[in-house]
């Protein structure tokens, strides 16, 4: 495997079971490359109700009780991360940790910009259960805004077992970068690729039309070990999840357009909905 394909992985980490699943996936996937640098980022979030005030120079000063709490929490996290670093010392992959104080999404976004990772791996519970620091809306926002691919992990997942990848797309023109990354993804796992168009009542087209676009995509980008599928469903989100369940896929791959503001408010994001509702890992890449 060419180490130039991927060299740096960012893992947002909050000590939850989901975060541990993401970290395990990152360390296991590193065996597929010559060398991988794994950075584990922990954000100690500041509650909005802590009575925060600002000092000169924009420095944030909490109330005394909150200040003592955060000092103790930071010390505890530093000790936990030292143990984590010792556990991974001497591994084939590089391993580093970083602890920051502030808003989770903002700090993860800043780390993505500053560190420029090749992949972000995040744990998520999805839409069910109690939201924690790095799941739910934070995961969705990272999926929507990250300039690099994001892998969302729900359960403990062995990369060696990923042999069926569902790639849901419309397979229209102008997807050179996405196609290149999908081919890399397929190569990482040495997997079969299921290229699927979801046909819905609101955007119906004939099987012949969909199949022709998939065939053109396969030929243009020289996709190997691929299966073309057209799947009918009430919505694109449910169709992608249902199709992946029907063929017992190991991973779902798809693009997101990263819409924000009012456009996102009214249209939502198919990728975010799939990340929320799929039980299997989801790989997303923001296209322009």
Q: What is the pLDDT of residues 71-102, one digit of tens each?
A: 888 888 899 999 999 999 989 999 999 999 88
- 121 and 250 part of one domain: no
- pLDDT at residue 22 tops 80: yes
Q: Is residue 2 assigned to a domain?
A: no
What's the mean per-residue pLDDT of the chain?
Answer: 85
Among 90, 122, 153, residue at a domain's last position:
153
Give the pLDDT of residue 48.
55
Question: Is pLDDT at 60 greater than 80 in this prediction?
Answer: no
In a domain, 122, yes or no: yes
Domain boundary among 121, 153, 185: 153
CATH number where 223 lies: 3.40.50.620
Is 149 found in the same domain as 15?
yes
**Cα–Cα distances in angstroms (integers) from residue 181 to residues 112, 161, 188, in the given order:** 18, 20, 10
Give the model's confidence band at 47: pLDDT under 50 very low, under 70 low, under 90 confident, else very high. Answer: low
**Through-space distance between the first and last CA atoms of the chain, rounded to whole angstroms:** 28
Q: Are residues 75 and 133 located together in one domain of the fold? A: yes
For residue 47, being part of any structural domain is answered with yes
Residue 69 lies inside a defined structural domain of this protein: yes
122 shares its domain with 199: no
Judgement on whether residues 194 and 100 belong to the same structural domain of the protein: no
Q: pLDDT at residue 135 above 50? A: no
Weakest mean pLDDT among 46-55, 103-112, 148-157: 46-55
CB 223 within 8 A of CB 190: no
State how far the Cα of 133 lies from the Cα of 143, in Å rounded to an integer: 15
Tell me the whole-structure pTM to 2 decimals. 0.86
Tally of residues, the chain: 288
Last residue of a domain, one of 110, 126, 153: 153
179 close to 213: Cβ distance less than 8 angstroms: no
Q: Are residues 141 and 199 in the same domain?
A: no
Per-residue burial over 205-217, b = 16 or more CB atoms within 10 Å of its CB, e = otherwise: eeeeebeebbeeb
Using one digit for the tens of pLDDT, what is the confidence trace for 157-211? 999 999 999 999 999 988 999 999 999 999 999 999 999 999 999 888 999 999 9
- Residue among 87, 88, 102 at smallest CA distance from 42: 102
Tell me, what's the pLDDT at 126? 61
**Which of 32-36, 122-126, 233-237, 240-244 has the least mean pLDDT?**
122-126
| CA nearest to 84, candidates 29, 140, 24, 134 | 24
Range of the domain at 41: 8-153
Check whether 5 has a pLDDT greater than 70. Answer: no
Instruction: Supply the pLDDT for residue 263.
Output: 42
Are 270 and 169 in the same domain? yes
Cβ pair 194, 229 in contact under 8 A: yes
100 and 201 assigned to the same domain? no
- Residue 12 and residue 143 share a domain: yes
- Residues 125, 202 within the same domain: no
Residues 18 and 149 in one domain: yes
Query: Do 147 and 260 fall into the same domain?
Result: no
pLDDT at residue 63, as a whole number: 61
Per the structure, how many domains does the chain have?
Answer: 2
**Residue 72 covered by a domain:** yes
- Per the domain annotation, does 78 fall within a domain? yes
Asked whether the CA dihedral 230, 254, 159, 278 is positive or negative, the reply is: negative
Predicted local confidence at residue 17, as pLDDT: 92
């Amino acid at each position: 495997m060419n180490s130039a394909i991927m060299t740096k992985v960012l893992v947002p980490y909050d000590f939850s079971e989901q975060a541990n699943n993401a970290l395990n996936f990152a360390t296991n996937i590193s065996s597929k490359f010559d060398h991988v640098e794994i950075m584990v980022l922990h954000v100690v979030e500041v509650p909005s109700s802590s009575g925060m005030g600002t000092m000169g120079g924009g420095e944030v000063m909490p109330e005394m009780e909150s200040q003592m709490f955060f000092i103790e929490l930071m010390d505890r996290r530093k000790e936990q991360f030292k143990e984590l670093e010792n556990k991974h010392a001497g591994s084939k992959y590089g391993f580093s940790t970083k602890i920051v104080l502030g808003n989770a999404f903002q700090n993860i976004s800043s780390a993505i910009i500053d560190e420029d990772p090749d992949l972000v791996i995040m744990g998520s519970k999805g839409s069910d259960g109690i939201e924690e620091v790095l799941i739910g809306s934070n995961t969705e926002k990272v999926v929507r805004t990250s300039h690099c691919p994001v892998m969302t992990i729900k359960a403990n997942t062995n990369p060696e077992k990923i042999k069926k990848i569902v790639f849901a797309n419309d397979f229209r023109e102008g997807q050179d970068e996405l196609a290149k990354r999908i081919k890399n993804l397929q190569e990482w796992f040495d997997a079969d690729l299921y290229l699927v168009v979801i046909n819905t009542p609101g955007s119906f087209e004939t099987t012949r039309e969909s199949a022709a676009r998939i065939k053109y995509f396969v030929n243009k980008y020289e996709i190997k070990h691929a299966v073309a599928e057209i799947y009918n469903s009430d919505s694109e989100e449910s169709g992608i999840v249902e199709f992946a369940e029907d063929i017992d896929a190991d991973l779902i791959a798809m693009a997101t357009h990263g819409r924000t503001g009012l456009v996102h408010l009214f249209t939502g994001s198919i990728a975010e909905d799939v990340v929320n509702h799929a039980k299997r890992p989801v790989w997303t890449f923001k296209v322009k």
